[in-house]
């Protein structure tokens, strides 16, 4: 029972980070119908940017203040990078076949990965001095690392901010309108170019914070971009265009990955933890192709 509770609690906390990254993926798909296959690399870039800012700031100010400012800086840089990426690489693809745009995101993934390795090298890097204490918090006999607790709090706080942004701000409502009916939104004066750019900017911001939190848990290296790809089973399970689905899917995949690692790694050595979410995704698609809350498209000919 102790092992089950340990895996359950850490699975939920890890899943909240997956949900945060999945939010960016869902936004891009809702607004443009494009699967962003560079999401893992966006996560990696965000982690390294935050590490660079943190190491620069911690020399002159208290540790936690430096980390919070580094996260704010990561959000700002993510916003700028998202706008630039959309303007330089993707705006010219508006109106082109969806497959062509998806292939552009594949090219971007290799480009971003190469830039990260050129700037920061391929060795594992960690946040030093450590942001969160090593000593775990013991609750009911279950030890929980403080990095998981604070990562969960940060991920949930940012998700609440993003959801409020979509629901209560003019920009967020414009994004929803464009996602629901692009032609109707355009007739009301909504700029599709602005909506697409904002979607990519928020995707960069969400992925950047997700990469920062994952980097604090396991350190920063190429594996962070692979963890970012776990967003695919998350959004498929919840629905490619559903924000609540991204949250539920993130928690579900986090639990699945943890339980697979805790109970099955002994029987299937070699990384069942990493492939279990994708096996689940394939089986789930056989029974519910649109996800839990995905839009079902019916075309009549």
CA atoms within 13 Å, Cβ hemisphere of 86: 24
Pinpoint the alpha helices (H) of the chain: 2-32, 39-57, 63-85, 98-120, 146-168, 170-180, 182-187, 192-218, 223-228, 231-238, 243-263, 272-287
Instruction: Name beta bridge partners: 137.
Output: 144
Token representation of residue 21: 């990254």
Tokens found for residue 81: 């990078």
Q: Work out the angle at residue 249's Cα, subtended by the Cα atoms of residues 271 and 97, and round it to the nearest 5 degrees.
A: 95
Helix (H) or strand (E) holding 270: none
Task: Map residue 138 onto helix, strand or coil.
Answer: strand
Query: Domains of the chain: which residue ranges?
Result: 2-287
Query: Phi/psi at 142 (nearest 5 deg)?
Result: -105, 125
Across the chain, which distance is largest between two alpha carbons, in Å? Answer: 66
Q: Which CATH number fits domain 2-287: 1.10.3470, 2.60.40, 3.90.1570, 3.40.1000?
A: 1.10.3470
pLDDT in tens, the chain (301 residues): 788 888 999 999 989 989 988 888 888 887 777 788 888 899 999 999 999 999 999 988 998 999 999 999 999 999 999 999 989 988 888 777 888 888 999 999 999 989 998 998 878 888 888 888 888 888 777 888 888 888 898 888 888 888 888 788 888 788 777 776 767 777 777 787 888 888 889 889 988 998 898 888 888 888 888 776 778 899 889 888 788 888 899 999 999 999 998 888 878 776 788 889 999 999 998 988 888 877 666 555 5
- Enter the tokens of residue 139: 């609750």
- Answer yes or no: are the C-beta atoms of 16 and 251 closer than 8 Å: yes
Global pTM reads 0.88
Closest CA relative to residue 63, chosen from 144, 162, 129, 149: 129
Q: How many CA atoms lie within 13 A of 157 on its CB side?
A: 7
* Beta-bridge partner residues of 139: 142
Q: Quote the CA–CA distance of 144 and 137 in Å, as a whole number.
A: 5
């Amino acid at each position: 029972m102790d092992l089950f509770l340990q895996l359950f609690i850490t699975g939920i906390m890890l899943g909240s980070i997956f949900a945060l990254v999945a939010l960016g993926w869902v936004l891009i798909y809702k607004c443009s119908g494009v699967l962003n296959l560079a999401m893992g690399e966006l996560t990696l870039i965000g982690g390294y940017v935050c590490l660079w800012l943190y190491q620069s700031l911690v020399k002159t100010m208290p540790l936690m203040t430096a980390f919070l400012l580094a996260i704010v800086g990561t959000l700002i840089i993510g916003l700028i990078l998202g706008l630039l990426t959309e303007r330089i690489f993707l705006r010219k693809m508006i109106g082109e076949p969806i497959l062509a745009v998806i292939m552009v995101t594949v090219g971007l993934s290799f480009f971003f990965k190469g830039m990260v390795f050129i700037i920061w090298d391929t060795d594992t890097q960690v946040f030093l001095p450590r942001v969160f204490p090593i000593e775990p918090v013991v609750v009911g006999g279950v030890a929980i690392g403080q990095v998981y607790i604070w990562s969960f709090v940060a991920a949930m706080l940012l998700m609440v901010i993003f959801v409020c942004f979509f629901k209560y701000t003019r920009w967020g409502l414009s994004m929803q309108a464009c996602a629901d009916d692009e032609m109707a939104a355009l007739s009301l004066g909504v700029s599709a170019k602005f909506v697409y750019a904002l979607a990519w900017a928020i995707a960069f911001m969400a992925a950047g914070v997700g990469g920062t939190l994952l980097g604090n848990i396991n350190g920063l290296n190429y594996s962070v971009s692979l963890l970012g790809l776990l967003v695919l089973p998350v959004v498929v399970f919840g629905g490619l265009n559903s924000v609540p689905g991204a949250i539920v899917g993130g928690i579900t995949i986090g639990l699945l990955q943890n339980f697979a690692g805790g109970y099955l790694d002994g029987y299937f050595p070699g990384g069942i933890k990493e492939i279990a979410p994708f096996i689940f995704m394939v089986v789930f698609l056989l029974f519910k192709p649109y996800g839990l809350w995905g839009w079902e498209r019916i075309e009549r000919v």
